[in-house]
Chains A and B, each alone.
Chain A
């Protein structure tokens, strides 16, 4: 049981007073981010990332920095449920499905029950995902050590093709958003040839587009604009948490173990393949509705309708870190931002990380156990406080969030140009969201663009320009085939349906 030893070592790394403190700060900030409109997991972490630049100079600091940022992510995953249940407003896209049964429960005066169920199932989903990461990640990393450039490009291809096959947006819009990300990633100095690409003489474009700016603009400003348009006034149920209600709810949760297990598996799968937490939550809800004996009462305040999506969303959000750590491929926009952080601190995500930076990897994995326990305690005890924050009118919150976004964009490179860029990305984010262009593939392509291109170039170099290299051995061939299968998933399934009648 080498993993257990490594994990114990990880706990030793993570369990310092400083790290435990950062964990609490991260969780509280994360819940706050999850509750506020316009601030979400991805842009919240992006805004706070520059504050950790200095921390990343030492190995111990790198562990602390990733603990802080990942705990913000866990907090945001927890926080999304609060607004969904009490206000019928999903604080995060992955908590939309939680509103279906969570809000009706709150209307019936069962808010405490719904919140307890949501938080506990989030915890269960995350816990199962972390268990999976603990035992699966080292294997994947070991396996991936054999990967050469063609294999890596094939995995990138698989990542992006799954987006096309799996997202609900029109496939060609997904492709367009993705290619836009790749094109933006190409802007600036080409490190291989030393030539300038797509800069057209603008010196500001030399260093290219930083995806953190894109994330803050697309998800932050864009979201604010959407919220303003909807003219939200937060009228919600009060959320009081009584210990008695918590215990009562916990007593009835075990009988839904099948739903939890199903949702966890869905979540883990969707997190590893880049489906992400949002589709996972909908899928978890839909599957539970189909299989549950009381499927008919879903949507009217069934506790199972809260358990299913929350478990799936949290499992997906957590397991999105597996491909990020082992292959350097993030499974969600927030994981992409965390990957950006690793790069800034001088860490190279990928299979070598497990060999060379054991402290970092296992410290992070251990902190995922601790962070989720801390998260559960924090959210169960502080719901009234966060519900009160939601009662602050939007006309106070909106300008403050816009200011935070501007500061966040500036601190990435201390550049005013980036702040302007953020505003432009904000408008793009608003238009794209309304036209059903998915934002996640754009961000992921922007993050992975250079690495994907390097892998492609190196593959092409060794094959002298023929694409058959992506089928040259069984390993790379099967990944590429799987990728193509995912790409044409939509047309294929409709074809099969038509054949069946």
Chain B
């Protein structure tokens, strides 16, 4: 690892994330086994039951994750295992993309208290804010791109390929539904 990277504060080490991932996958495998068992994982009157195949998938999944977990724990923290999975600054960058993306998806059709504005308006908002805050563009350029892109997609999907995408109040107002 380079000097600069080791100076950056780590948000989590590879070792920890590796171990946690193995545990989550193990839990998933256990769920698969449990559900297969519930459905019947044996030989029924007319052949293999619904859980026959998934049962073994779950078993292999659990065995593999135990080995992965042991491998992760075996790594010495001072050696490779102490390597940073993601530095704090990278984590911040990732979050600054993930959070707007989640809000964007929420805005497309609305969820809970968030109203749906349709995919075109949501895309425009997403692009303008992304460019403005993360790209530090002027409002002019950001608004230009964010309006042009959804219009191109609207033409492509609604008009040429006739694939309807979620629309919101703006399209209704313009009579484009």
- Quick one: CB contact mask for A187-211 with B, threshold 8 Å, 1 for yes? 0001011010110100000000000
Q: In whole Å, how far is B176's beta carbon from the nearest beta carbon of chain A? A: 16
Q: Is the CB of A179 within 8 A of B102?
A: no
Interface residues of A in 229-252 (CB under 8 A from B): 229, 231
Residue count of chain B within 8 Å CB distance of chain A: 65
With A179-B29, A398-B130 as known contacts, state yes or no: A403 contacts B123, CB within 8 Å: yes
B39 CB contact (under 8 Å) in A170, A195, A398, A402: A195
Q: Is the CB of A172 within 8 A of B18?
A: no
Inside 8 A of B17's CB, which chain A residues have their CB? 431, 434-435
Interface residue B53 (Cβ < 8 Å from any Cβ of A): yes
- Quick one: CB contact mask for B124-146 with A, threshold 8 Å, 1 for yes? 00110011001111000000010
* SS class, residues of chain B in contact with chain A: helix
Inside 8 A of A224's CB, which chain B residues have their CB? 97
Complex CA–CA separation, A200 to B35 (angstroms) = 9
Complex CA–CA separation, A378 to B18 (angstroms) = 44
Total A-B pairs in contact (CB under 8 Å)? 162
Closest to A224 in B: B97
- Quick one: CB contact mask for B92-133 with A, threshold 8 Å, 1 for yes? 011001100110110011000000000100010011001100
Inside 8 A of A343's CB, which chain B residues have their CB? none
- Quick one: CB contact mask for A389-423 with B, threshold 8 Å, 1 for yes? 00001011011101100110011001010011001
With A406-B104, A411-B163, A435-B14 as known contacts, state yes or no: A228 contacts B64, CB within 8 Å: no
Q: Is the CB of B165 within 8 A of A395?
A: no
Interface residue B27 (Cβ < 8 Å from any Cβ of A): no
Inside 8 A of A192's CB, which chain B residues have their CB? 50
Interface residue A457 (Cβ < 8 Å from any Cβ of B): yes
Inside 8 A of A460's CB, which chain B residues have their CB? 47-48, 52
Inside 8 A of A200's CB, which chain B residues have their CB? 35
Closest to B109 in A: A416
Number of chain A interface residues as a range? 35 or more
* SS class, residues of chain A in contact with chain B: helix
Interface residue B147 (Cβ < 8 Å from any Cβ of A): no
Q: In whole Å, how far is B114's beta carbon from the nearest beta carbon of chain A? A: 12
Inside 8 A of A195's CB, which chain B residues have their CB? 39, 50
Pairs A-B, 6 closest by C-beta atoms: A395-B135, A399-B130, A179-B61, A176-B64, A195-B50, A193-B50
Q: Told that A197-B39, A410-B119, A411-B163 touch, could you supply 7 new A-B pairs with CB distance under 8 A?
A: A183-B28, A198-B32, A395-B135, A396-B131, A403-B149, A407-B157, A460-B52
Query: Would you mind naming 28 contact pairs between A and B with Cβ atoms under 8 Å apart?
Result: A51-B163, A172-B64, A172-B68, A175-B60, A175-B64, A176-B25, A176-B61, A176-B64, A176-B68, A179-B29, A179-B57, A180-B28, A197-B35, A221-B101, A225-B97, A225-B98, A395-B131, A399-B131, A402-B101, A403-B126, A406-B104, A410-B119, A423-B105, A431-B21, A435-B14, A437-B21, A456-B53, A461-B47
Enumerate chain B interface residues (CB-CB to A < 8 A): 14, 17-18, 21-22, 25, 28-29, 31-32, 35-36, 39, 43, 47-54, 57-58, 60-61, 64-65, 67-68, 71, 85-86, 90, 93-94, 97-98, 101-102, 104-105, 108-109, 119, 123, 126-127, 130-131, 134-137, 145, 149-150, 153, 157, 161-166
Enumerate chain A interface residues (CB-CB to B < 8 A): 50-51, 54, 170, 172-173, 175-176, 179-180, 182-183, 186, 190, 192-193, 195, 197-198, 200, 221, 224-225, 228-229, 231, 393, 395-396, 398-400, 402-403, 406-407, 410-411, 414, 416, 419-420, 423, 427, 430-432, 434-435, 437, 453, 456-457, 460-461, 465
